[in-house]
Structure 1
Amino acid sequence: MEVDLKYILFISSALLCSILLAVCILLISVSKPYPVIIRSKKEKCFIDPKSGESIAFPSINGKSTLHLSVIIPAYNEETRLVPMLDECIEFLENRTKDSSFKYEIIVVSDGSTDGTVSVASKYCERLGVEKFRILELECNRGKGGAVRLGMQSARGAMLLFADADGATKFADLIKLESSLTELLERDYLKEPEITADKLAISVGSRAHLQNEAVAKRSMFRTILMYGFHAFVWLFAVRGVKDTQCGFKLLTREAARICFESLHVERWAFDAELLYIAKYLNIPITEIAVNWTEIEGSKLIPIWSWVQMGRDLFLIWLRYQIGAWKIVPVKKN
């Protein structure tokens, strides 16, 4: 019996190793080391609703020409987008009244099939294309893909991506800005050109609300939540309690570098983004923000967490075996 047990354990271990080796070989053979970013001719331009002219988006590789770019990924968000944009625009417009502050909002319609583009176009007509632009993707890329293309089309010294649901109060941007000002010892509102070239990321966090969330969740969903956090800690990012909050502020250079290497275009892209930042030693601050759950989420609680857990493991594995690589930072 003892011999049989050892034999079974040996065979099982050998089988598991063989499967893992086969998976690694498969991942290396089908993966490209660096992301291939495909963007159609239409997706490289935005429409000026007043003239009907198609105008090419700028590139993040160029110099910044304004203080802040706000990137809003939107997939079928015609209902939730309106209150979010109203709050966002009111905050930003108030800031322009007594200063030289310049901003832009880029709504990235991620292959929406509802009235998302129509809703965004009304704001574009009112504010003009210097302040509001629409990047209309021809097919659904996923949230990460939409954010990446929005970031790579931005003009700001600082780049913020914010979810279209408005779950985070936009005024909390001040908290993220303050943390980066303290970290960089530079205020981008006063020195946008200098700050744009620095490396730093500030992430909004809901970690302080975790106890309240646990009280409202079932035991099963709570276990899944803690399991996902364990996966994040084990395979992606340590030191950041909430990687998934859709409210992150990046310097222009940090955004350029990180999104250049980003492979994941779906829900787990936040974790890979911060994994890349940690690998490149880009400073990250985590700031508590006000957050309210808004109805209409595209996430399916249990299934989405399982998918993201799988993606986190595959992200880690691909980087470990060299199937994916991170573009090295060029030193000036």
Structure 2
Amino acid sequence: MLEYPKYSIVIPAYNERLRIIATLDAVVACVRREHWDAEVIVVNDGSTDETADLVRDFIRNAPEVHLMENPSNRGKGYSVRNGIVHAQGNIVMFTDADLSAPIDEADRLFAAIEKDGADIAIGSRWLATSRQTHRQPLYRQFFGRCFNALTRMVMRLPYADTQCGFKAFTRDAAQTVFQLQTIERWGFDPEILFIARKRHFKVKEVPVSWAHDARSRISYLRDGLQMLKELAIVRWNALLGRYGKDITEVDRPELHS
């Protein structure tokens, strides 16, 4: 009988050659220091740089790490879904490749699930702003808050921060939510939270330390307009009943380095 890891940590990556090794160093060091029974899954989203080769080299000395390859560049939402649906852990989380929330903060998400009984734990930058060690420029804070407020209103989500790329799920919640997810790019976060509420999962918002990375690729004009379109798609999906489908759990495959 196969023994599966307790935790799965999914890291979507697109053209991350400048920081993927530092990120994996930090994640693996934390896994070993905290004695987590964990696998780390890097999902390469069709990178055109050396990201995949760097991960393969890293794996030689880090059996905890595995590499998944998307068929092409499909977007962050697709990458997170691909990694999480095929993860083996009983608790599955994803984190951004820039580690804006330090990986040791994952303990706070795990505790919300294991001790507080949440099905889903989501990191929040806004519940305790004093924990922000490097804040965004004011214009990014403004647009981020505006988008979050609009998202909460349109999607009827009660969370202070829907977009933080630091979320954890029980296996059951992960399998259900991500198999129903349809948005493949930046706007997937509100959709998975909408689905979670639709399926009556208990979601707990957890304040986490967070530092803005100036190399962030998101454009509040271009991507913001796309996200507004995707909010409309989610509401349309809900009207069509697409989030009420029965789900069959994906078998836990053995990942190969």
Q: Per the shorter chain, which TM-score range? A: 0.7 to 0.9
Contact 1:203 1:284 (8 Å CA) reproduced: yes
1:69, distance to aligned residue in structure 2 (A): 0.7
Residue 116 of structure 1 and its aligned partner are, at CA, apart by: 0.6
By how many angstroms is 1:215 displaced? 8.8
Kindly indicate whether the alpha-carbon contact (under 8 Å) linking 1:64 and 1:157 is maintained by their aligned counterparts in 2. Answer: no
Match of 2:252 in 1: none
**1:93 is aligned to 2:7:** no
* Structure-1 residue corresponding to 2:40: 105
Paired residues, what number? Answer: 246
Give the superposition deviation at 1:313: 2.3
Query: Deviation of residue 302 (structure 1)?
Result: 2.3
Question: Are the structure 2 counterparts of residues 80 and 141 from structure 1 closer, same or farther at C-alpha, using a change threshold of 3 Å?
Answer: same
What secondary structure, in the 3-state scheme, does the structure 2 residue paired with 1:155 have? Answer: coil
The 3-state SS of whatever aligns with 1:156 is: coil
2:91 to 158, 171, 175: 158
1:217 aligns with 2:135: no
CA–CA separation in structure 2 for the residues paired with 1:173 and 1:325: 28
CA distance in structure 1 between the partners assigned to 2:3 and 2:79 by the alignment: 20
Deviation of 1:227 (Å): 2.9
Match of residue 123, structure 1, among 58, 66, 70: 58
How far the C-alpha of 1:306 sits from its partner, in A, is 2.2
Counterparts in 2 of 1:295 and 1:224: CA distance versus 1, 3 Å:
closer
The answer (yes or no) to whether the contact 2:135–2:212 under 8 Å persists in 1 is no
- Structure 2 counterpart of 1:275: 194
Q: What CA deviation, in whole Å up to 9, does each residue of 1:235-275 have, x standing for no partner?
A: 22422111111111111111001111111111111110010
Structure 2 Cα separation of the partners of residues 270 and 127 of structure 1: 30
Q: Deviations over 1:112-168 (max 9, x none)?
A: 11011011112211123xx21100112011111111111122111110101111111
- CA positional deviation for 1:95: 2.3
The answer to whether the Cα contact below 8 Å between 1:205 and 1:242 also exists between their aligned partners in 2 is yes
The aligned residue for residue 326 of structure 1 is 244
Q: 1:254 aligns with which of 167, 173, 178?
A: 173
Partner Cα distance (2:38, 2:83) in 1: 14
Distance (whole Å) between structure 2 residues aligned to residue 86 and residue 248 of structure 1 = 20
Q: Is the 8 A contact 1:172 1:290 kept in 2?
A: yes
Query: Kindly tell me: are residues 329 and 115 of structure 1, through their superposed partners in 2, closer, same or farther at Cα, counting changes over 3 Å?
Result: closer
Counterpart-to-counterpart distance in 1, 2:136 and 2:176: 39
With over 3 angstroms needed to count, the CA separation of the structure-2 counterparts of 1:326 and 1:224, relative to structure 1, is same
Partner of 2:216: 297
User: How many angstroms apart in 2 are the aligned matches of 1:132 and 1:234?
Assistant: 39
In structure 1, C-alpha distance between the alignment counterparts of 2:232 and 2:20, rounded to whole Å = 33
CA contact (8 A) 2:179 2:247 kept: no
Equivalent-residue separation in structure 2 for 1:260 and 1:63 (angstroms): 24
Higher helix share: 1
Residue 160 of structure 1 aligns to a residue in which SS? Answer: strand
Structure 2 contact 21–58 (Cα < 8 Å) conserved: no
CA distance in 1, matches of 2:129, 2:206: 12
SS in 1 for 2:122: strand
SS in 1 for 2:221: helix
Q: Distance in 1 between matches of 2:95 and 2:135?
A: 24
Q: 1:64 to 1:296 in 2, by over 3 A?
A: farther
* SS of match in other structure, 2:54: helix
The share of aligned pairs that are identical, in percent, is 29
Q: Whose Rg is larger?
A: 1
TM-score, normalised to structure 1, is 0.68
Q: Residues 114 and 205 of structure 1: is their aligned pair in 2 closer, same or farther, counting only changes over 3 Å?
A: same
The 2-side partners of 1:217 and 1:223 are apart by 6
Uncovered stretches (5+) of structure 2, i.e. residues with no partner: 249-257
Which has the larger displacement, 299-308 or 113-122? 299-308
Relative to structure 1, the CA distance from residue 68 to residue 317 in structure 2 (aligned partners, 3 Å threshold; closer, same or farther) is same
CA distance in 2, matches of 1:69, 1:86: 16
